[in-house]
Structure 1
Amino acid sequence: MLDTTTTRFSHVKPGQTLWRGEGLRDFFLYRDLGVADATNGQVIAQLVKANSAPEKGTGWHRHEAQFHLVYMLKGWARFMYGDQETLVEAGDMVHQRPGIVHFLFDYSPDMEYLEIVGPADFGTVDVEGPCPVPAPGAWPAA
């Protein structure tokens, strides 16, 4: 049976939540979609977009999460998942299995993705990488 006592209905319109720089990475902006509050921290849904050009990327890390989904809305990003380079483009969806070691090392200036993670207060642990990472490309001059 569905538990309706620990979660609430939520409806967030564009503009009701603002882009903010206070998130996991200072080179991204984040926009909360109200799901963490509605689920009492069981799940977070947020939009993530590029804020500045990639210099060093995210570094090798893994998340302490039970579920992690990335759906690319605009642009593209290049990840290393273990020793596998993966290009994620607009319309692509990635399910990051729990504990997968990865590195986001390059992305387009218009990159924007939807991220859904459970639990909402998931942890991030820096780790040693299994292989070298390609250098990011240069962004076009503004």
Structure 2
Amino acid sequence: MLDRTTTQFSHVKPGDTAYVAGGLRDFFLYRDLGVAEATHGKVIAHLVKANMAPEQGTGWHRHEADFQIVIMLKGWARFMYEDRETRVEAGDCVHQRPGIRHYLFDYSPDMEYLEIVSPADFKSIDVDPVCEIPPPTPWK
């Protein structure tokens, strides 16, 4: 039998929540999908899209999280995962293992991705650089 006491049903339509600044990165906009509230903080799901051209990127960091995936919906982004450059394009899904050191350093103006993380209040922790970062692609 389903346990309906720990999570709630949630249905968020595009007009229900807006993209807002003030998330983890100031150069992105975030749209809450209602999952954190429905799961009482067990999981967060939000849409993330480019708001400004990449200059410094995210910096080297890791997350204190049990689970994290990124599903690229539009455009592309370039990450360093440890010492490996990875271009993530529309349709791609990336599972970021817990604690992986990474750096999002470049993205297209139309970049938009779905991010799902557990727990909802995951922490982002700066780490020492792993390797050199390629330059971002200038926006026209």
User: 1:129 maps to which residue?
Assistant: 129
Q: 2:13 matched to 1:13?
A: yes
Q: What SS does the corresponding residue of 1:68 show, helix, strand or coil?
A: strand
Gaps of 5+ in 2: none
Q: What SS does the corresponding residue of 2:37 show, helix, strand or coil?
A: helix
Counterparts of 1:2 and 1:64, CA distance in 2: 29
Counterparts of 1:67 and 1:4, CA distance in 2: 22
Contact kept, 8 Å, 1:82 with 1:129, in 2: the verdict is no
Counterparts of 1:126 and 1:114, CA distance in 2: 22
User: 1:44 maps to which residue?
Assistant: 44
Name the TM-score, length of structure 1 as normaliser. Answer: 0.97
Tell me how far 1:129 sits from its aligned partner. 1.6
| Residues 105-140 of structure 1: per-residue CA shift (max 9 Å, x gap) | 000000000000000000000001211010111001
Runs of 4 or more, structure 1, over 4 Å off, are none
Counterparts of 1:26 and 1:15, CA distance in 2: 22
Counterparts of 2:3 and 2:132, CA distance in 1: 46
Tell me how far 1:6 sits from its aligned partner. 1.1
User: 1:120 maps to which residue?
Assistant: 120
Counterparts of 2:58 and 2:91, CA distance in 1: 22
AA in 2 matched with 1:125 = I
User: 1:68 maps to which residue?
Assistant: 68
| Residues 19-61 of structure 1: per-residue CA shift (max 9 Å, x gap) | 0001000000000000000000000000000000000000000
Q: What SS does the corresponding residue of 2:45 show, helix, strand or coil?
A: strand
Counterparts of 2:36 and 2:2, CA distance in 1: 18
RMSD between aligned residues: 0.7
AA in 1 matched with 2:14 = P
Counterparts of 1:47 and 1:130, CA distance in 2: 28
AA in 2 matched with 1:60 = W
Contact kept, 8 Å, 1:67 with 1:118, in 2: the verdict is yes
Gaps of 5+ in 1: none
User: 1:87 maps to which residue?
Assistant: 87
The count of corresponding residues between Structure 1 and Structure 2 is 140
Counterparts of 1:53 and 1:78, CA distance in 2: 13
User: 2:59 maps to which residue?
Assistant: 59
Counterparts of 2:2 and 2:64, CA distance in 1: 26
